[in-house]
Amino acid sequence: MGSEKKKEKTGWYRFGSGLLWAGGQFAYNWFITHELPMGRTLGAIGSAFIAGWSTAAILGRFAKWGAGYKVLMLSGILIGIAVFSGAFSGLTSLIDWFNSKEFKVDWTKLQDFLLSGSVAPPAGLGLLTGLYVRAKIPRPKKDKA
């Protein structure tokens, strides 16, 4: 009764990270690339929100295991780029994955993405997400045995 643990409300960091990514993508599209079709901009913002949410969820698990801020920043960059590069392929690729008999990676497309300027926003946002998650999730307490 008295030893019941209070559940901490730490789940909002995923939503905050999603908003951070969506805002960063909006700023990139609006001020840097000047993409006029609003549909493409809204699609990019939605994909960025999902990428930010997913990246924060993965990094949150690392943070709960006790990873430091340097590990989370580096992981945020790598995971952010990986998730973000797949986020723009759309929901139609999900249907293709379910119907596929084998898994293939388009290495030339991945290389083109990694060598383009489009990799800068997810790299920067991944770095910020690592710092954000480390600040929001407390380190686990070490047992003194």
The answer to the question of residue 143 being in a domain is no
The model carries a pTM of 0.72
| 104 lies in some domain | yes
In a domain, 88, yes or no: yes
Helix ranges restricted to H, the chain? 12-27, 38-64, 69-87, 92-99, 107-114, 120-136
∠ CA 142-144-145, nearest 5°, is 130
CA distance 77 to 127: 5
pLDDT-derived band at 122 (thresholds 50, 70, 90) equals confident
> Is 141 contained in some domain?
no
More confident residue, 108 or 11: 108
The number of domains in the chain is 1
Nearest to 131 by CA among 77, 54, 86, 50: 77
Residue-wise pLDDT for 33-76, tens only, equals 776 677 778 888 888 898 899 889 999 989 988 888 899 999 99
Asked whether residue 7 is domain-assigned, the answer is: no
Question: Which residues form the domain of 42?
Answer: 12-136
Structure tokens at 13: 């960091």
**pLDDT at residue 87, as a whole number:** 54
144 in any annotated domain: no
